[in-house]
Amino acid sequence: KRGQGVWLRARARLRRFPALLAGCGEQATAYGRCVAAAASGTAEVRRDACLEEFRALRACFDRAVGPGV
């Protein structure tokens, strides 16, 4: 029972994620488009091909979730 509080808090944080991340749709769309475009050819997707878009999405997630979550 001692660890139950940890799991309850973790589940509560996870339930908040969809609402917190809802404001990142523009960045998620840009990243998805970039990955889809990079994967559409016959060549393999290069590492960091969409790094700029990924960083923008990650920054949005970080701002939405905030520190310590």
Give 15-61 pLDDT, tens digit per residue: 888 887 889 999 999 999 999 998 887 777 788 899 999 999 999 98
State the pTM of this model: 0.69
Instruction: Return the domain boundaries, the chain.
Output: 2-65
* Residue 7 vs residue 41, higher pLDDT: 7
Q: Taking the alpha carbons of 19, 24, 29, 32 in that order, is the dihedral positive or negative? A: negative
Q: Where are the alpha helices (DSSP H) in the chain?
A: 4-21, 25-39, 51-65
Q: Compute the CA torsion angle 55, 63, 23, 15 (nearest 10 deg).
A: 110
Provide the pLDDT for residue 67. 67
